[in-house]
Every structure is written in structure tokens, then in C-alpha cells.
Structure 1
Amino acid sequence: MNRRSFFKWSGFGLVAAAIGGLGLREAQAGNRYYTGPISDHFDGKVFFNPGGEEPRGFTDLLRWQLGGGKIDWPKAVAAADFVTTRPEPRVEGSRLVVTMVGHATLLIQTAGLNILTDPVWSERASPVSFAGPKRNNPPGVAFDDVPKIDIVIVTHNHYDHLDIATLKRLIERDSPRLVTPLGNDTIIRSDVPRLEADVMDWGDRIEIGNDVTIHCEPCHHWSARGMGDRRMALWAAFVLETPGGKIYHIGDTGYAEGKHYRELKAKHGDIRLAIMPIGAYEPRWFMKAQHQNPEEAIEGFRLSGASFGIGHHFGTFQLTNEGIDDPPKALVTAMSAAGIGNDRFKGLRPGQQFEVPRAGA
């Protein structure tokens, strides 16, 4: 199989080349995105998961891609099967409404703030517009129907989470405040010099107004945008401390034996809502360290002690082997086995909303 056929066949191949660096070790003398002190998760050049696993390399990537087992997705969702929603302009006080746009893009509305996570309105999650994973469904909220955004959270720099084209549109329209882990601001500023960013390390906290505080917390993942920049920008989860309770948001993570969920509960106590990934997990031998499956997500939800949950990261871009409906089906099975009702944890489809009850309701 030649290189062109490999990229076309894989659906993930081109992006794997770009965001995975094809498994090449860092070739530069230093870090192109971030310079800072050595810590328990930064060795002076690259970031790492303490006690965790590095992403697999090019040989394993080829083994996966050439090994078969990929389930075909429909080329596009039929128009009758997708929903578009026009969110409220603002949600005040302790009300909490979350709208799924698609994949890891969610609109969180509470305390009079509009907060958008990992915004991607582009047609492809890719460094180029002509190849790479393509949207299987349109965004659940048309860009022109998105209310004025106050805060954008970018959890890490993979193309299905950090989309420069969308960030440019949002910044030109709304001038939001952007919150992101170390190094990602450098990537964005190269194309968006007007960026106003709060750059956070694990353990940092910032106050953003309206009695809302954002905490930057660990998760088990990795980063890269191109050849040779693997793990040169940090990845993170976030806790939003609001008047109506705490919201835990993870863009991408491996389960990592539940370590970070236990730490979350010990540090933050009661969580009103946990938003966590449930897709892009097959084959497990390749994906397990970096992408949790629905069963692991539900176990993490249980360990976190959160009152309610939302699953995301499925059904929009085909990145891995599982079928388009496999994550929500596996989620139902995992919830049933854990005794968690569908009123507590929802795998939202694009356009769907969840008005989250107050904890204990």
C-alpha cells in the first residue's frame, strides 16, 4: 500500500501523521511552544504523564492501520436524522444548560456566561481542507446562531480540538477570553495575534468574573500538531467553579486506572456535572492509554462522585475503528451495569441540550 492510499484508506492517516508526528521522537534542540521550569510533568523540553504511558509510535500505527477491523460509517447523516438548535442568549444564576455542537465542542451556559469548549465548525479535523476526517453531521448549532461567547476553553492541540479557522471566526466576532494549557497559546497566536489568553499549568486557577473560577487539572493524554513537536504543549482537564456548583470538563483522556478521577474528588469535593469523552477507543491495544471507552468513562464518573454527566467525542469525526453507534450503545450497557440511570448521564448528539438539575435534585 503506497503512502497516498494509506492516508485515503485510514481516514485517520493524514491527521495521525500531523498530530502524531508519525511516532518520531522530538528532533529539535528545544521546545518550540513553551519555555519554563522543570516540574513533575515537564522535563525541560516535553510534557509527560507522571507514571503514565507515552503514545505509541509509527510501527504500531502501521500495525493498526493495516490490521483491518475498521467499521465503515455512513458517508453522512440523513437530514431527517440531525437536529439544529438555537441556544438562549444567556442563562442566568445557578441554571446550567449544556448544548452539544459536535464531537468535543459544547456550549456551557451558566451564571450569565457563555463558555465554549474545543470549538470546531470546520468541515474537517485536519491540518488541510482537502483530506482528513470529515464531519459526518453538521454542527448542532449553526455558527450564526451561537450566542456571544465570553470564554473559550481549548483543552489541547490535536486538530479535532484546536481548530484555528474556528478560533479566528470567534475572536473576530466576539473577542472572547481564551483559556488553554501551557504552549497552546503560542500555536494559536501564530495565526491569531489578537488573542487574549489565560495560559494555565496543572494546579493553576483563575477568576473569570461572575463568581466563576477555572481550575486547570491533569488528565492522561498527549499533544502534537506536526512532525517532531510531540508533547511540546500541555493537555489538561478543567473544573469550572460556579455559583450553581462545579463542572468538570475533559476534552480527551485515557482512564489511567482512575487516578485523576480519585484526585478530582479528593481536591474538589462535590461535582454537579462531569463532561467526559466516550469515543475514539478502538482498537484498545492502541488507544487504551489515551482514549477511555464508555465503560471506563462510567467508572470514572462513579469515582468522581459527580451528580450528572455528559458523554462526548463520538459520532462526528471517524478517528478510530468503532462504528458510529458503538459508543452510545456501549454507554447504555455500562450505565445499566453500574446502576446509573439515563437521567444522570447522557451521551449527547449534535443539537441536543441538557438542562442539568441542581446536585441532589
Structure 2
Amino acid sequence: MGKSGNRYYDGPVSDHFDGRLFFNPGGIAPLGFRDLLKWQFGGGRTPWPERRDSPFPPARPSARIDGRGLSVTMVGHATLLIQTAGLNILTDPVWSNRASPVRFAGPARVNPPGIRFDDLPPIDIVLVSHNHYDHLDLATLKRLQAVHRPRIVTPLGNDRIIAGALGDARITTMDWGDGLDLKEGVSLAAEPMHHWSARGMGDRRMALWAAFVLTTPAGHVYHVGDTGFHGGSNYRAAGAKYGGFRLAILPFGAYEPRWFMQGVHQNPEEAVEGMLACGAAYVAGHHWGTFRLTNEGIDAPVEALQKALDARGIARDRFRPLHPGEVFDVPETG
């Protein structure tokens, strides 16, 4: 642990780091333990089925996609395979049965991964947006390291968690605004999202959270692993900076009750507003239907999403709520 008391990161003060903890500038701080108990024991949870199989069989992705091709395959929750420019990129990979620090308790999958682990193509890059257990799964990262030895890219501080379990993994950390060249013509940038971090009770906001932007010959791809809407400010800033996106990968589930979740998880209506604010031609919707984290029913996010799209006059096929195993070959734009 550093002199500041932060166990993961010791660095200079910035507009989102106070010398000990990270924060969302002008944003909503995560609620405390009393509020957590109020939510957990307050009732109002819609039951989920113990199992809900995807309408799509497990996918068997191509080895590589080149040129202006852009394909996204849903594994489940926030885990997606992005294929473009000859690269295979996984986001927030979780193949474990539970999103939890233990194997015997915590949110369990209601559907199997949409790509069997052994059917993965060679994985070049892994993006880990933050350290919550439904996004940073050390068991899965160990499997990926053993088979694929990918480059793991994650915001500041999370490298300490990953390296402690994976040893000699190739880990690159990024602060908001940082850029990274992945190969000729392909770059990655870290951008703000409105969230928080913790692996336990004593490490809140000690590691950073971030969205990612891929710049490729196929266009810009904006991946947001988890976020509160924050008035749309981060979306507007990203749209202005990059001139819009061929694809945005946006969360739209795990949002009830709003009094507890509004600062950390956007709802479907806000996700649609985010799509418009950042100038996304298409959206791959995630963070729904695999792990029960919050109060809404399993089908509620898609029903609310369709209503929000209809209300804004947006064709439903532009914002795809992806099921495990579903492959989205993103149309070209421009």
C-alpha cells in the first residue's frame, strides 16, 4: 500500500484523482453501506428464471476479420468479442459461473457463454474496464493467459490486482485521455465513464474505471463497460472528440431501483440518449440477461429499450440488445 493509503495506485493528483481516491468530476458518489442494506432488504425484486437459454447457439467465430469488416459476438453480460482490422479483442471477459469473489455464492449465470472458451479465436487484446467482479474475473484472465497470452489493457490501479494473480501477464494501464497504438492504423484511447470501483469493503475507488475508443480502418468503436448517464456529458464529449462512431457498445441493464442505481448504471432510455449524444450509427447493447444484479425482470431492459427507440423514432435494428451467441456484423457507414 502506498503512502496515500491506496493499495493499488500511487500517482499525481488530477481532475479525477485526489491523491488517494478516484472520482467522477461533478458526478454522483456511490452510495454507502446503509443505502445498500436499504436496497437489499427493501423488496421489489422481480423474480428471474434459474435458466434462460439464448435463442442463438454458441458461436464459432472466424479466425480473423480484415479490411473494413467489423463484427461483434456476444458472450454474455459485458463480455463481447470485437473482430476488426485483423485483431481479436475481448471486453471484460467472464467465463466463470458466478460474478462473485467466491464460487459458492453471488450472481450466477442463467445462460452459458455465447462462445465456448475452446472455440475462441486467437485473442490479441483484452480490455478490462474496471474491477467489479462482473467485469474483472481473475479465473477467466488466468485461462486466457495460459492459452492466448493477450495484451491486457485496463485503467490505472487494476494492474496490481491482475498481476497479483497472473504474474508475468502483459498489462498496460491507461488514464483517461491516454492513447495507445495497437498496430499500424489501429489505436486505443481511454475515456471517462461515470462509475466506481471496489473488490471488497476497504478498497472503494482505489482503482480507476474507463471507457475505451478503438480507432480502426473500419471506423471508430466506443466501448462503455458500465456507466451512469451523468447528464450525457461523457457521451457528448466523446462524440465531439471522435466525430461519431460506427459502433457504440453500451450497457442498458441493471438499473433498478433508480434511487440507488442512477449514478452508476444507466437505464434503457438513457442508453438511447447516449447513442444520440455520441453520434453512434449502431449500438451493441449489453449488461443484461445473464447475471441478475438488480431489481428489474430479465425481459424488462429490452421492453424498455424498444419503447425508448420507438419514442425517438430510431429503427430498432440500430440498437441491438445482443443475446449470448448472437453475431452482429456491423453495417458500413459513410
- Classify the secondary structure of the residue corresponding to 2:147: helix
Q: Which stretches in structure 1 are left out of the alignment for 5+ residues?
A: 1-27
- Classify the secondary structure of the residue corresponding to 1:334: helix
Kept after mapping to 2: 8 A contact 1:274/1:301? yes
Number of the residue aligned with 1:75? 50
Tell me, yes or no, if structure 1 residue 286 matches structure 2 residue 286: no
Q: CA deviation at 1:343?
A: 2.3
| From 344, 350, 358, the counterpart of 2:318 | 344
Tell me, yes or no, if structure 1 residue 162 matches structure 2 residue 136: yes
Number of the residue aligned with 2:269? 295
Q: Which stretches in structure 2 are left out of the alignment for 5+ residues?
A: none
Number of the residue aligned with 1:57? 32
- Classify the secondary structure of the residue corresponding to 2:316: coil
Kept after mapping to 1: 8 A contact 2:196/2:209? yes
Q: CA deviation at 1:29?
A: 5.3
Q: Which amino acid in structure 2 is aligned with residue 232 of structure 1?
A: M
- Classify the secondary structure of the residue corresponding to 1:168: helix
Number of the residue aligned with 1:40? 15
Counterpart Cα distance in 1 of 2:289 and 2:256: 14
Counterpart Cα distance in 2 of 1:171 and 1:66: 39
Q: Which amino acid in structure 1 is aligned with residue 36 of structure 2?
A: L
Counterpart Cα distance in 2 of 1:227 and 1:264: 32
Number of the residue aligned with 2:243? 269
Tell me, yes or no, if structure 1 residue 256 matches structure 2 residue 230: yes
List 4+ stretches of structure 1 deviating above 2 A: 80-83
Counterpart Cα distance in 2 of 1:343 and 1:228: 43
Residues 285-324 of structure 1 correspond to what in structure 2 (within 5 A)?
285-324=259-298
Q: CA deviation at 1:351?
A: 0.5
Q: CA deviation at 1:359?
A: 1.4
Q: Which amino acid in structure 2 is aligned with residue 138 of structure 1?
A: P
Residues 80-91 of structure 1 correspond to what in structure 2 (within 5 A)?
81=55, 83-91=57-65
Q: CA deviation at 1:194?
A: 1.4
Per-residue Cα deviation, 1:191-248 (whole angstroms, up to 9, x for no partner): 1011101100000000010411001000100000012100000000000000110000
- Classify the secondary structure of the residue corresponding to 1:165: helix
Number of the residue aligned with 2:41? 66
Q: TM-score, normalised by structure 1?
A: 0.91
- Classify the secondary structure of the residue corresponding to 1:328: helix
Kept after mapping to 2: 8 A contact 1:36/1:44? yes
Number of the residue aligned with 1:127? 101
Q: Which amino acid in structure 2 is aligned with residue 211 of structure 1?
A: G
Number of the residue aligned with 1:113? 87
| From 204, 208, 227, the counterpart of 1:234 | 208
Q: Which moved more, 1:55-64 or 1:247-256?
A: 55-64
Kept after mapping to 1: 8 A contact 2:92/2:136? yes
Q: Which moved more, 1:69-78 or 1:200-209?
A: 69-78
- Classify the secondary structure of the residue corresponding to 2:160: helix
Q: CA deviation at 1:81?
A: 4.3
Q: Which amino acid in structure 1 is aligned with residue 14 of structure 2?
A: S
Per-residue Cα deviation, 1:100-157 (whole angstroms, up to 9, x for no partner): 0000000000000000000000000000000000001000000000111000000000
- Classify the secondary structure of the residue corresponding to 1:281: coil
Kept after mapping to 2: 8 A contact 1:111/1:210? no
Residues 320-331 of structure 1 correspond to what in structure 2 (within 5 A)?
320-331=294-305
Per-residue Cα deviation, 1:287-338 (whole angstroms, up to 9, x for no partner): 0010000000000101111111111000000000000011111111111111
- Classify the secondary structure of the residue corresponding to 2:172: strand
Kept after mapping to 2: 8 A contact 1:82/1:137? no
Counterpart Cα distance in 2 of 1:135 and 1:283: 21
Q: CA deviation at 1:64?
A: 0.7
